[in-house]
Amino acid sequence: TLGLREFEAARLRVAQINGCLFCLDWRTERDGEKVEEEFAGAVTEWRTTDAFDERTRLAAEYAERYTLDHHGLDDAFWKRMTAHYSQAEIVELTMSIGSWLAFGRLNHVLGIDAVCVLPGHG
């Protein structure tokens, strides 16, 4: 249910924090569309970039906070999230972030990310 930009903002922020090379190189494609080339850089600068709307910015923020300080997700944050996301979207985003966090760390810790080659990147 999530838009491509929100999905990729959260996924890439987790990848940046995890340092998973495979995840950093991957770009999700939907119906032939991918985010623009500069998107990953904007994700790094999610606080200040003018390339994001509020939903995309919140997706990157949630991914970062979930990954680095899940105990710090306070009422003020949830008030902002629920103003822009439905409960179903929050559940989907949360489950996605959790799976990316685990998968990316497993790949990086075991060195799988350094040996996997994406099609077209060989």
Q: Any idea what the CATH number is for the domain that residue 57 is in?
A: 1.20.1290.10
Coil, helix or strand at residue 30: strand
**Total domain count for the chain?**
1
Residue 120 counted as domain residue:
no
Residue 106 counted as domain residue:
yes
Q: Report which of residues 18 and 72 the model is more confident about.
A: 72
> Max CA-CA distance within the chain?
46
What residue numbers bound the domain in which 102 lies? 4-115
For 25, phi then psi, to 5°, come to -85, -25
- Per-residue pLDDT tens over the stretch 34-63: 999 899 999 999 999 999 999 999 999 999
d(CA 60, CA 84): 13
Q: Note the pTM of the prediction, 2 decimals.
A: 0.88
Q: Report which of residues 114 and 78 the model is more confident about.
A: 78
pLDDT, residue 20, reads 82
Q: What is the DSSP string of 46-84?
A: TTT-SS--HHHHHHHHHHHHHHHHGGG--HHHHHHHHHH
Residue 86 counted as domain residue:
yes
